Amino acid sequence: MVAEISKGLEDVFIKTTTLTNIDGIKGILRYRGYDINDLVEHGTYEEVIYLMIYGSLPTKEQLNTLKEKMKKHYNISSDLLNILAKLPKNADAIGMLEVAFSVLASGEVDYKWKPDADKEKAIELIAKSLSIVANIYRIKEGLPVKNAVIKESYAETFLNVCFDKPVPKEFVNVMDKALILYADHEVPASTTAALVVSSTLTDMASSIVAGLAALKGPLHGGAAEAAFKQFIDIGNVNNVDSWFNKHVLENKERLMGFGHRVYKTTDPRSKIFKRFSETFSKYNKEVDRYYQIASKLENLATNEFSHKGIFANTDFYSGIVYYGLGFAPYMPTPLFALSRVTGWLAHVMEYVEEQERIIRPRAIYVGIDRRDYVPIDKR
């Protein structure tokens, strides 16, 4: 029997899941059966956290209990804050996140996986992610590190730590929805990396470090930042045609934020981020400039590549939304990570607790069959 290799593990199934269902042909995304559009329209990020970790949408009492648990863990130790503060201002933001979660992992000695305790640990790490990401932003912006002043929601608390001022309710709402949109997406590269690591029965924080390392690459989490940089490079809507012809059609450069391994139609998350971008564009001239560039570029690319099943993905417009919220262009990937910690932890718990087996694939050897060792003085 001749073994077949699936490059990039395309269409290789590594686990069963009750978490996220994607129909790439119809453009459907559901978390535990709930359509992403319904969750964004009616839900909150805290409800989605509860859904992913505990398996159902919470009652009011369960939601309040979750919020109280998270509030106890929002703040991080002064030691961790000091470590982050000593990192260079120009350090890579995801690299800084790796440092933070490595510090948390260093405190986990002989971690034992137990379902009830695992859920508590997951909630703790999701909560701590808020102060970690917010303070990385503050460090890179030259601001002093600080712990959170607790607000009503996860999104509001996060934005207030980042910006040192009250944030408009409309911004809090958009941040909350963005967190929902990036919470999970089945088993992309970062989740797979976290699964491989967790299958060894290491601790959760170490699994997050693995997910972050995979997320750092421009073909995964870095795609939103790269897509936004394209819009900056184009500069003006009048330059879109010439830029597209030169870079994409002539030079065959990758159009960031376009195409997806699973979706063969427009990513449903992209439609929502586009709507938020359009809303911000009505109040912010800079956002409007980037929105107009992105919209025209999407039309050109869709006309050119739709017959191949290549459409805009979630990263195409999300960078514009984050920019509209007030974040610098380097922040889309850390903000992706802030949300995706929920999905990573939900998947690793599901795998370790229900399908426990170390992930150990094979490789097909294609090298020289056998060689005789020759002493170094005779080579």
pLDDT in tens, 34-57: 999 999 999 999 999 999 999 999
CATH code for the domain of 250: 1.10.230.10
pLDDT digits (tens, 9 = 90+) for 282-336: 889 999 999 999 999 999 999 999 999 999 999 999 999 999 999 999 999 999 9
Q: Is 315 a catalytic residue?
A: yes
According to DSSP H, which parts of 28-153 are helical?
36-42, 45-54, 60-71, 78-85, 93-106, 115-140
Q: Report yes or no on 8 lying in a domain.
A: no
Q: Is 260 a catalytic residue?
A: yes
Q: Same domain for 146 and 277? A: no
Q: Is residue 150 part of a domain?
A: yes
Q: Which of 184, 203, 288, 315 is catalytic?
A: 315
In a domain, 378, yes or no: no
pLDDT given at position 6: 82
Query: Into how many domains does the chain fold?
Result: 2
Same domain for 108 and 49: yes
- For residue 263, pLDDT over 80 is answered with yes
Last residue of a domain, one of 307, 325, 343: 325
Q: Assess contact for 74 and 130: CB atoms under 8 A.
A: yes
Residue 283 sits in the same domain as residue 341: no
**Do 194 and 89 fall into the same domain?**
yes
Q: What is the pLDDT of residues 136-169, one digit of tens each?
A: 999 999 999 998 888 989 999 999 999 988 899 9
Q: Which H or E element spans position 20?
A: strand 20-23
- Rounded to 10 deg, the angle between the 223-234 and 315-325 helix axes is 80
Percent of the chain at pLDDT exceeding 90: 81
CA-CA distance, 15 to 13, in Å (whole number)? 6
**Residues spanned by the domain of 227:** 223-325
Residues 283 and 335 in one domain: no
Q: What is the pLDDT of residue 356?
A: 74
- Token match 């564009």: residue? 281
Looking at the structure, tell me whether residues 149 and 288 fall in a common domain. Answer: no
99 and 234 belong to one structural domain:
no
What pLDDT does residue 1 have?
52
pLDDT of the residue at 2: 62
Read off the pTM.
Answer: 0.93
In a domain, 135, yes or no: yes
Does residue 368 lie within any of the structural domains? no
**Within this chain, do residues 174 and 29 fall inside the same structural domain, yes or no?**
yes
The answer to whether the CB of 334 falls within 8 A of the CB of 137 is: yes
In a domain, 52, yes or no: yes
Q: Is the pLDDT of residue 355 over 80?
A: no
For the chain, give the mean pLDDT.
93
Same domain? For 167 and 202 the reply is: yes
Flag whether 362 is in a domain: no
CATH number at residue 85: 1.10.580.10
> Catalytic residue among 184, 260, 267, 347, which?
260
Angle of the 223-234 helix axis to the 332-354 helix axis, nearest 10 = 160
> Does one domain contain both 254 and 240?
yes
Judge if 179 and 252 occupy the same domain. no
Q: Which of the pair, 8 or 275, is modelled with greater confidence?
A: 275
Are 132 and 228 within one domain? no
Residue 259 has pLDDT above 90, yes or no: no
| Per-residue pLDDT, 353 | 87
Bridge partners (DSSP) of residue 28 are: 23
Q: Is residue 12 part of a domain?
A: no
